[in-house]
């Protein structure tokens, strides 16, 4: 009999769990690859934004530089014109007409100069910040350029290895399933054979009991009668079983036939050795 928990069933369960683990690992590797692709796309977008910010900052810095150059060139000319211009004769004001005049033009020039300095400082700060951001973007791009191919290749190799191992596990599982089916078929055939052998053993036991009863009785006439009946009953049965079972079944039943033949010989010897007395 085949045990309910066979090693093939245990191996099949282990293979199923192994296949589930491999599928989970493949899914995780695919998720890591997708995350890495998203990270690479984000880095590319950040690099484009940094380049745009840098171009904008450069344009602003160039505009401020041109404005400063224009102011620097026009200011000395105005000063020269003021210095070279002839002073106009004006009447001397009386003491009563003297009023406090606030210097508005110098204050305005100073305010404009301060505003220009603030703009220059702001543009310088923006330019430095954009340069720092650009440098960081270049460093990140360099790191990604170095690590991306190797990481991608490593993930591809890992996924390929997992897929191959998964295919091998599927093949082993299919082979184990075939073996399990063969074992189940052998088990069914063995049960049928055992059932047939139990029936055959019962028949041989009945025949042996009948022969033993004849030997114990010692009645020659009854013995001949039972002997002939048993032979007529037994030999066709054995012949039919031999034809039905084939060579292997015939060998098994040949032993039983030989045993009954020995019993018949003993009966014949006893008949010749002990004379049968007739009852009056």
Q: Where are the alpha helices (DSSP H) in the chain?
A: 7-84, 104-217, 220-273
What is the model's pLDDT at position 22? 74
Please compute the mean of the pLDDT values over residues 125-143 and round it to a whole number. 82
pLDDT (0 to 100) of residue 237: 42
C-alpha dist (Å) from residue 153 to 60, 148, 149, 156: 44, 8, 6, 5
137 against 206, higher pLDDT: 206
- Give the pair of three-digit tokens for residue 24: 């989970």
Banded pLDDT at 236 (limits 50, 70, 90): very low
User: How confident is the model at residue 113, as a pLDDT?
Assistant: 73
With a cut of 80, say whether residue 211 has pLDDT above it: yes
Q: Is the pLDDT assigned to residue 152 strictly greater than 80?
A: no
Work out the average pLDDT over 200-220. 81
Closest CA to 16 of 177, 144, 127, 225: 177
- Asked if the model's pLDDT at residue 166 lies above 70, the reply is yes
Mean pLDDT, residues 26-45 taken together:
76
Report which of residues 40 and 271 the model is more confident about.
40
């099949």: which residue's tokens? 12
The string of DSSP letters for 95-120 reads: TTT--PPP-HHHHHHHHHHHHHHHHH
Most confident of 46-50, 195-199, 242-246: 195-199
> How does pLDDT run across 39-85, given as a tens digit for each residue?
777 777 777 777 777 777 777 766 656 655 545 444 444 444 444 44
- Choice between 98 and 206, residue whose per-residue pLDDT is larger: 206
Residues 119-134 have a mean pLDDT of: 83
Q: How many whole angstroms separate alpha carbon 137 and alpha carbon 50?
A: 7
The span from the CA of 171 to the CA of 137, in Å, is 49
Write down all domains in the chain, each with its CATH number in brackets. 7-81+115-183 (1.10.287), 188-273 (no CATH)
50 class by beta-carbon count within 10 Å (0-12 exposed, 13-18 middle, 19+ buried): buried
CA-nearest of 277, 276, 274 to 266 is 274
For the cut 70, the answer to whether the pLDDT of residue 222 exceeds it is: no
Mean pLDDT of the chain: 68
Higher pLDDT, 191 or 238: 191
Average pLDDT rounded to a whole number, residues 257-262: 62
Least confident window among 19-23, 93-97, 139-143, 269-273: 93-97
Confidence of residue 232 (pLDDT cuts 50, 70, 90): very low
% of the chain exceeding 70 in pLDDT = 55
């Amino acid at each position: 009999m085949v045990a309910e928990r066979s090693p093939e069933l245990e191996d099949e369960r282990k293979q199923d769990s192994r296949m589930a683990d491999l599928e989970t690992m493949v899914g995780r590797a695919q998720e890591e690859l997708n995350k890495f692709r998203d990270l690479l796309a984000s880095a590319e977008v950040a690099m484009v934004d940094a380049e745009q910010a840098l171009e904008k900052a450069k344009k602003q810095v160039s505009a401020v530089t041109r404005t400063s150059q224009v102011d620097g060139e026009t200011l000395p000319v105005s000063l020269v014109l003021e210095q070279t211009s002839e002073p106009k004769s004006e009447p001397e004001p009386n003491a009563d007409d003297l009023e406090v005049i606030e210097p508005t033009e110098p204050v305005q020039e100073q305010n404009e100069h301060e505003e220009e300095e603030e703009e220059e400082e702001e543009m310088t700060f923006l330019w430095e910040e954009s340069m720092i951001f650009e440098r960081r973007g270049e460093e990140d791009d360099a790191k990604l350029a170095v690590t991306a191919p190797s990481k991608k290749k490593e993930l591809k190799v890992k996924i390929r290895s997992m897929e191959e191992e998964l295919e091998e596990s599927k093949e082993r599982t299919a082979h184990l399933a075939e073996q399990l089916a063969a074992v189940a078929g052998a088990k069914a055939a063995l049960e049928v054979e055992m059932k047939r052998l139990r029936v055959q053993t019962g028949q041989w036991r009945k025949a042996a009991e009948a022969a033993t009863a004849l030997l114990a009785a010692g009645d020659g006439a009854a013995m001949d009668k039972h002997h002939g009946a048993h032979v007529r009953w037994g030999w066709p049965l054995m012949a039919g079983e031999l034809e039905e079972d084939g060579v292997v079944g015939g060998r098994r039943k040949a032993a039983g036939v030989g045993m009954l033949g020995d019993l018949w010989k003993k009966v014949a010897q006893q008949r010749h050795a002990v004379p049968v007395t007739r009852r009056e």
